[in-house]
């Protein structure tokens, strides 16, 4: 049984799908309003996670230089 593309919205938003799954999801997305809405809701997540990663990295660098 092939998993439903509905489960791939977050992975697609984060850019972690392999090429085949990415293409399958893009085709699905063209006709699925539910996934389009969910993707719009998740659109800021990758940038938010990158910001957290930068903040954590900067905090670790600050800790290392202050000792």
Summarised one tens digit per residue, pLDDT across range 4-59 is 777 899 999 989 999 999 999 999 999 999 999 999 988 887 777 788 888 777 76
- Tell me how far apart the alpha carbons of residues 30 and 4 are, in angstroms, rounded to a whole number: 15
pLDDT of residue 16: 93
pLDDT of residue 6: 76
51-63 pLDDT tens trace: 888 877 776 666 6
Nearest by Cα to 50 from 26, 5, 14, 12: 14
pLDDT of residue 62: 63
Specify the pTM: 0.64
């Amino acid at each position: 049984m092939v998993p439903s593309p509905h489960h791939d919205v977050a992975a697609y938003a984060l850019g972690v799908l392999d090429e085949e799954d990415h293409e399958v999801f893009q085709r699905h997305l063209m006709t699925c309003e539910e996934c389009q809405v969910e993707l719009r809701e998740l659109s800021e997540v990758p940038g938010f996670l990158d910001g957290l990663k930068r903040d954590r990295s900067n905090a670790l660098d600050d800790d290392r230089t202050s000792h």
